[in-house]
Amino acid sequence: MTGSEVLLKALELEGVNLVFGHPGGAIMPVYDALYDSSIKHVLVRHEQGGAHMADAYYRASGKVGVCFATSGPGATNLVTGLATAHMDSSAVVAITGNVPLSLIGTDAFQEADVYGITGPVTKHNYLVKDVNDLPRVVKEAFYIASSGRPGPVLIDIPKDIQNATFTGTFEVEIDLPGYKPTIKGHAGQIKKAAEALRAAKRPIMIVGGGSQSAADQVVSFVDKTGLPVITTLMGIGAYPAASDNWLGMPGMHGTVTANKAITSCDLILAAGIRFDDRVTGKVSTFAKQATVVHIDIDPAEISKLVEAHVPVVGDLKDILPRLEKELNKLELSDWWTQLNEWKSNYPERFNREGKTLGSQEVIRMFYEATEGKCVVTTEVGQHQMFAARLFPTHKARTWITSGGLGTMGFGLPAAIGAAFARPGETVICIAGDGSIQMNIQELATLYKHQLPVIIAICNNGVLGMVRQWQEMFHHERFSEVMLADSNPDFAKLAEAYGIAGYNVFDRETAKKLIPELLAKGKPAVVNFVVYPSEKVFPMIPSGAGVEDMIIGDQEPEYDYDTDIYGEKELA
Amino acid sequence: MNQKYVLSLTVRDRPGVLVRVAGLFARRAYNIESLSVAQTEVPGISRTTFVVTGDESSIEQVEKQLQKIINVLKVINHSEAKYVDRELMLIKVAVTSLDERTELRQIAADFRAKIVDVHQNALIFELTGDEGKVEAFIEQMRPFGIIELIRTGKVALTRSAEDPKVKKSVLAAKAA
Ligand SMILES: Cc1ncc(C[n+]2csc(CCOP(=O)(O)OP(=O)(O)O)c2C)c(N)n1
Ligand SMILES: [Mg+2]
């Protein structure tokens, strides 16, 4: 057996039947072996797309996503994808070819120090120097990627190792004495957490990305205790949105209710969250009255930014049921009266009667048409925040976004990865006209595999999120945010790729088209022409606290010329 | 506030582990003042001692992040318990006269430094000690003309009285 055959066999032993990749000189032996393999390969059009697909494949299924790339430029193209997966704790195994061992370090053709470059954006990485190590390395890579706090692992394999003759064995043991994730929560700490919860008058639970793998336990816990639940951007779906106990999203663009609840609560039960600065704002004013009970599998997250009074390190799947056993329904009626008052005083507000379409109403139409029973991926920008508020889902692993790194270009490949992970389910990618162009080449991949992915471009003709900051904090100096003057005709572009494309300018067409597309279950690109000055509210300015929240007025009427390619000056 | 820390890491002897450790210090703006690495009594396991200066408020976070590196087995922050530390120096000093040679031998004897190389115009001394002793010796040598010197950087071990658990396990193994 050659190293390449060993690699594929080792992947099969890990249950891999699908990889996303792009070939090149230094990984050709692997692609040669792939020719006879049962593993299905999806040919992406850019390695970044492959990494995002593998990432979303994991997020949507809980199964490790795998991507392949060649040395040098192929591998460096993976870097953004790895960093995205790393920030959002997503289990990806990336395999890269490299120049032969004897040429490593000589500036050989298409050589890059991939091992060095990817170190800071992976949970762990390997440079394989002996073909007989491959079975162990692959086994360890999958174990590291998927256990504890998940993350990406890269295996760099020089070309001569891919061709070398294997004389080893597949009967290998994982050899990682320095890696022992804590799974079982400490009994004493769970008791303390229960005591704190029983004593609390105004508790809340904040559910984050770590909860995506423990959604059943979250739901059961909330059912029993009656706690109010806030889902972070990464936690959307881990607790059903729109249910009575749900208060929405916290932080910079969170709901008024969620942010007021955080400020007023006397206890936060934080489940798999890492208190990102977009959630806390100014840490010194964050939840000042609250006892913080922090459950996380990663001890380094405990008291990193917000002090945990009761830390519980371990897996939520272990800890939540044990904590639940210690508790009965909590007496929270006064607290609920207050929360419900906020909920009714601050409903979601957005313009759906303006002369022109807005991103928010378009996104809400999708929510109404699907009732949130679909898979949502997003790009990055205003549309992402609008989607988080107006298009949440109700099941774990169905809301997929680049939260930590905020990678424009994530949404389209992520939709493809998610569609592979959840066959039969419709995936809707909420995109911006800027972001979609960062990995638009993956339309070819989408066409090829005819996946039920609907790409909804909220085409406001601008880098909207940047424009919003310029309007609010940079004296309306709109520096380099204009896209409309040179955007392509997205419908024609889709058609050129063989995908149904639509330009939609008005409400009636939008309302009619969305259910039709949902029924069809075919790839589609819908370019919704929306006005450029829409803003994401509420908003807590960067570095400020909840008390500085700008709730935002109803958008003024905006009469935007529907000719997006036209001359009209923005703002 | 910046502070000096002595950290001992037990690591697996695998490529890349020190890069990850150094990267972590750099990211948190910790300056590495000295670093020593060598094999331990267990094959494949190395012990490193880092002397770093960096922000007081983030040292705990740095320790936790170090612990997360897959091939880091153990992290000890020596500021948390009493410890013994030493470093070794080789120092080459110019000698131009017999008087100087006699004087240098006398100072070396006071410091318990060894002469490890003799040349008609130079002597190399080997000195072991804590930082204070090493620095005092350097000052003594300065007037003679230091040609070059090298220091290993600190190596450190927690005092046995502070670490009874480990000792017990070794004693038990010995008894068995
Ligand atoms: C790769 C990358 N480059 C730059 C940014 C900074 N950025 C964040 S949002 C945004 C604007 C996105 O524009 P668009 O996709 O049209 O979305 P909109 O905000 O208009 O809804 C930019 C440039 C980023 N997040 N990612
Ligand atoms: Mg835009």
Domain boundaries, chain B: 3-80, 84-155
User: Which of A496, A495, A375, A503 is closest to A433 using CA atoms?
Assistant: A503
CA distance A65 to A413: 13
User: pLDDT-based confidence at A553, cuts 50/70/90?
Assistant: low
CA distance A508 to A516: 13
Residue B58 contacts A, CB cutoff 8 Å: no
The DSSP element (H or E) to which A485 belongs, if any, is none
> Can you give the pLDDT at residue A448?
98
> Can you give the pLDDT at residue B161?
82
A53-106, pLDDT tens digit by residue?
999 999 999 999 999 999 999 999 999 999 999 999 999 999 999 999 999 999
CB of A467 shorter than 6 A to ligand 1: no
> Can you give the pLDDT at residue B170?
78
CB of A382 shorter than 6 A to ligand 1: yes
Is residue A159 annotated as part of the catalytic site, yes or no?
yes
Closest CB from A116, A144, A178 relative to B73? A178
User: pLDDT-based confidence at B160, cuts 50/70/90?
Assistant: confident
For B14-163, where are the alpha helices, taking DSSP H only?
Answer: 17-27, 59-68, 98-111, 131-141
Q: CATH topology for A3-163?
A: Rossmann fold (3.40.50)
Residue A569: count other Cβ atoms within 10 Å of its Cβ.
Answer: 8
Asked if A77 and A46 count as a contact pair (C-beta separation under 8 A), the reply is yes
Average pLDDT of chain A, as a whole number = 95
Residue B56: count other Cβ atoms within 10 Å of its Cβ.
Answer: 10
Which of A107-111, A128-132, A556-560, B16-20 is the least confident region? A556-560
User: Which of B101, B85, B81 is closest to B166 using CA atoms?
Assistant: B81
**pLDDT value at A502 more than 80:** yes
Residue B61 contacts A, CB cutoff 8 Å: yes
Flag if B70 and A116 touch (Cβ within 8 Å).
no
User: pLDDT-based confidence at A349, cuts 50/70/90?
Assistant: confident
Which of A196-210, A385-399, A512-526, B156-170 is the least confident region? B156-170
**pLDDT value at A123 more than 60:** yes
> Can you give the pLDDT at residue A14?
98
B60-76, pLDDT tens digit by residue?
999 999 999 999 999 99
Q: CATH topology for B3-80?
A: Alpha-Beta Plaits (3.30.70)
- Closest residue in B to A178 (Cα–Cα): B73
CB of A466 shorter than 6 A to ligand 1: yes
Asked if A533 and A249 count as a contact pair (C-beta separation under 8 A), the reply is no
Could you confirm whether domain A187-345 is CATH 3.90.209.20? Answer: no
> Can you give the pLDDT at residue B164?
66
Residue B71 contacts A, CB cutoff 8 Å: yes
- Closest residue in B to A177 (Cα–Cα): B73
> Can you give the pLDDT at residue A555?
54
> Can you give the pLDDT at residue A568?
42
Is residue A490 annotated as part of the catalytic site, yes or no?
no
> Can you give the pLDDT at residue B153?
94
**pLDDT value at A205 more than 80:** yes
Q: Matching CATH topology for B3-80 and B84-155?
A: yes
> Can you give the pLDDT at residue A571?
36
> Can you give the pLDDT at residue B80?
86
Average pLDDT in the A321-340 region? Answer: 98
Is residue A549 annotated as part of the catalytic site, yes or no?
no
**pLDDT value at A565 more than 60:** no
Tell the residue number behind the tokens 């190596």, with chain if given.
B155
CB of A458 shorter than 6 A to ligand 1: yes
Residue B90 forms beta bridges with which residues?
Answer: B126, B150
Closest CB from B11, B16, B64 relative to A300? B64
**pLDDT value at A563 more than 60:** no
User: pLDDT-based confidence at B169, cuts 50/70/90?
Assistant: confident
Closest approach of B127 to chain A, Cα-based (Å) = 35
Q: What is the CATH number of domain A359-570?
A: 3.40.50.970
Residues of chain A with CATH 3.40.50.970: 3-163, 359-570
**pLDDT value at B168 more than 80:** no
User: pLDDT-based confidence at A444, cuts 50/70/90?
Assistant: very high
CB of A362 shorter than 6 A to ligand 1: no
Of A465, A467, A483, A534, the one to substitute when testing ligand 1's pocket (max ligand atoms within 8 A of C-beta) is: A465
B11-45, pLDDT tens digit by residue?
999 989 999 999 999 999 999 999 999 999 999 99
Tell the residue number behind the tokens 């959604």, with chain if given.
A215
**pLDDT value at A557 more than 60:** no
**Which among A5, A9, A20, A47 is annotated as catalytic?**
A47
Distances (CA, A) of A183 to A294, A296, A319, A328, B63: 15, 10, 9, 24, 20
User: Which of B47, B40, B43, B41 is closest to B17 using CA atoms?
Assistant: B47
Q: Quote the percentage of chain A above a pLDDT of 70.
A: 97
> Can you give the pLDDT at residue A133?
98
Q: What ipTM, to 2 d.p.? A: 0.89
Could you confirm whether domain B84-155 is CATH 3.30.70.1150? Answer: yes
Flag if B68 and A298 touch (Cβ within 8 Å).
yes
A251-283, pLDDT tens digit by residue?
999 999 999 999 999 999 999 999 999 999 999
**pLDDT value at A554 more than 80:** no
Q: Which atom of ligand 1 is nearest to the CA of A433?
A: 16
Provide the residue type at B74 as one letter: K
